[in-house]
Amino acid sequence: MMERRSRVADQYGQMLLATGVVLLLSLLSMAVFSVKVAGLTSAHEPNADSVIETTKEVIEVLPSLTENRTQLWISSGMERVEAAELAMASIHDDLLHHGEIRGVEVKMLDINVSIIDSSTIQISLDLGITDDSSTLQSEYTYTISA
């Protein structure tokens, strides 16, 4: 009789342990859900600045990058406008790939290259940067020496 009571007590103990584990897991999942819901109303998310920061970085680096690449193509024998257009196409491809790595999409549309004088080229474009929650579009015009 003693052995039977021990087995029954062991089974009750195991069922009690299993019930406790299930209860603990459900409390944990409710806590995770509550944290996610509480985060929905926060005014600032850590990655919310990615579009703004990427836009700043692109605007900061674009003139010198364009000038350097244009000079490279001109020194290899291309015409100035063609060299600037090719430079912009390669920059667009690089920024698009770089943006994918960072989780943003960088698009340069309606790129116009025009000659100002014998040593200056003006470039204007529509810059669009987007991530999964926001988009920033701006017109950007700058000049390079080439």
Residue 3, token pair as written in the block: 């052995």
pLDDT, tens digit, 9 for 90 and up, residues 95-111:
887 766 667 888 999 99
- From residue 129, give the alpha-carbon distance in Å to each of 40, 95, 108, 124: 23, 10, 9, 16
| Of residues 49 and 87, more confidently modeled | 87
What's residue 43's pLDDT? 47
The residues that bridge with 137 in the sheet, in sequence order, are: 128
What's residue 44's pLDDT? 44
For residue 133, the surrounding DSSP H or E stretch is: none
The C-alpha atoms of residue 106 and residue 99 are separated, in whole angstroms, by: 6
Is-above-0.75 flag for pTM? Answer: no
What's residue 143's pLDDT? 94
pLDDT, tens digit, 9 for 90 and up, residues 24-77:
777 777 777 666 555 554 444 555 678 888 889 889 999 999 999 999 999 999
